[in-house]
Amino acid sequence: MHDLRRQALESGKTTSRKARSKVSSPANSKPSSPATSRAASRVRGNGSRAGSDDEGELSDETSFSVGSIDEVLNGDSTEHSGDAWRPELADRIEETLARKGSTVQGREKCYKAYVHILTAQYAEEEIRGKEAELVVAFLKSIKEEKTEKETILAMKALAMTLMTSPSDLIYEAASTPLKRAISHSTSTASKAAAIHTLGTCTFYGGASDDEILENMDFLLEIITSDGYTISAPDEPEPVAAALEEWGFLCTLIDDMSPQSEDAVEAFAEQITSSFPSVQIAAGENIALLFEKSFKQVDPEEDSLADFPDSEIMSDPDETPGVPKLIRLYPAYRRTDQLIHSLQSIASISTHHLSKTDRKALRTNFVDILNSVEYPTRGPRYQNAISDETGKRYGSRMVVRIHKGGVMKIDKWWKLTRLQGLKRVLQGGFVGHYEKNEVVFETLPIMMSNDR
């Protein structure tokens, strides 16, 4: 398979300096408030992580859901051949900017077409120079909130604009209207969409490190209050959205030691939620925080003699090539209690959940438990030994890029960023990963041949 890394780096696209510096490498960070309440959230339909991509009139263009992990890894790509989309996009941009006299239904149709094209095509050249005007138009729809559908489509259009052409100026313009929508919208779906859009704008829109941490605190307050701080008490959608975007932003922070204890405490409360979407998102953040509390031993920089044996983690299976880890700080002090809770969910057998939800909880929490106990192990780790190589399979989570290669997702930070990208790009992820340098730099993983 052709080298996607070389293709991305040679694409010639200019990424904003701040966006490039933040997305190019994973990290560790700074939440705050401790968990204060337990609570569930009122569920609608399926309680699985994904929920439905299609509720009522809402469609893929309005969805920030990525479905189960298997759907994330193997979702169909959105592709369109030919150049017919170019004049169509030009018309939709012109229609968006010439807002005077437009109707709600007309804007909904226009935004939907705009999002669909930007999802399916890498259109940085086509929107170049128009981003600021487009953002102003989308923010106007978000502020006015004429209908739930127009509002969510405007949020998705804003996120796709930023994903296509990042700017250090967008966060400053968008953060206040988005936070206002999160706190004051009367629509739960709009609140959740605004949370996801705030995450995208924070990640790619030029937010400073302090602003990233401030937004993580804001999201943690939503989580610990079960939505009460944004007038969405016990609603699963905004709480799950806050958990997902907190994890996405957490990958930008190098040192989580000041916040890890309170954050894990908050997430440990949420794994007891009545809603699998909330439980899984909270559990994945716990695994991410434990992963971030260790570093791989660097033979050139680290002398194991400088660390007590209790701070050195070796692969319990002594798998050749698996490096030792050094504990940088305790991710959580009551780890034994946490492990007990994770074990209970990993072996859940209750019948009040659907078969799909039970399977999702077991599969995800087996992985989460494995990583908390053995941070050398990433998602979908398998102890089984390959007959061909004689080695343990290890993490077997991969993303298939068309039919020619695979991307190995063997760390929680990689899975967190993959899911963050898929929430915005949906079926257009593969096309953007191959052509959009911004997307590639968010998850800079080399492809390997699928053999």
pLDDT average, residue stretch 108-117:
97
Distances from the Cα of 110 to the Cα of 7, 99, 145, 153, 409, angstroms: 32, 11, 16, 9, 36
pLDDT of residue 119 exceeding 90, the answer is: yes
Most confidently predicted of 65-74, 146-155, 435-444? 146-155
Q: Can you say how many angstroms the Cα of residue 91 is from the centroid of all Cα atoms in its chain?
A: 31
Range with lowest mean pLDDT among 24-38, 168-182, 209-223, 266-280: 24-38
Is the four-CA dihedral 1, 450, 281, 423 of positive or negative sign? positive
pLDDT value of position 201: 97
pLDDT average, residue stretch 56-79:
52
For residue 25, what pLDDT band results from cuts at 50, 70 and 90? low
Element (H, E) at 203: helix 188-204
pLDDT average, residue stretch 289-299:
87
Question: Using an 8 Å Cβ cutoff, are 29 and 22 in contact?
Answer: no
Q: How far apart are alpha carbons 427 and 160 in whole angstroms?
A: 13
Residue 341 is encoded by which pair of tokens? 């809770």
Q: How far apart are alpha carbons 196 and 426 in whole angstroms?
A: 13
Range with lowest mean pLDDT among 19-23, 306-310, 365-369: 19-23
Enumerate residues 6+ apart whose C-beta is below 8 A from 324.
296, 297, 304, 312, 313, 314, 315
Distances from the Cα of 136 to the Cα of 166, 173, 286, angstroms: 15, 8, 37
pLDDT average, residue stretch 63-80:
53
Amino acid (one-letter) located at 375: P
Question: Using an 8 Å Cβ cutoff, are 257 and 328 in contact?
Answer: yes
Q: Counting Cβ atoms within 10 Å, is residue 309 exposed (0-12), middle (13-18) or buried (19+)?
A: exposed
% of the chain beyond a pLDDT of 70: 75
pLDDT of residue 74 exceeding 60, the answer is: no
Q: How far apart are alpha carbons 51 and 63 in whole angstroms?
A: 10
Q: How far apart are alpha carbons 383 and 255 in whole angstroms?
A: 30
Whether this prediction's pTM lies above 0.85 is answered by: no
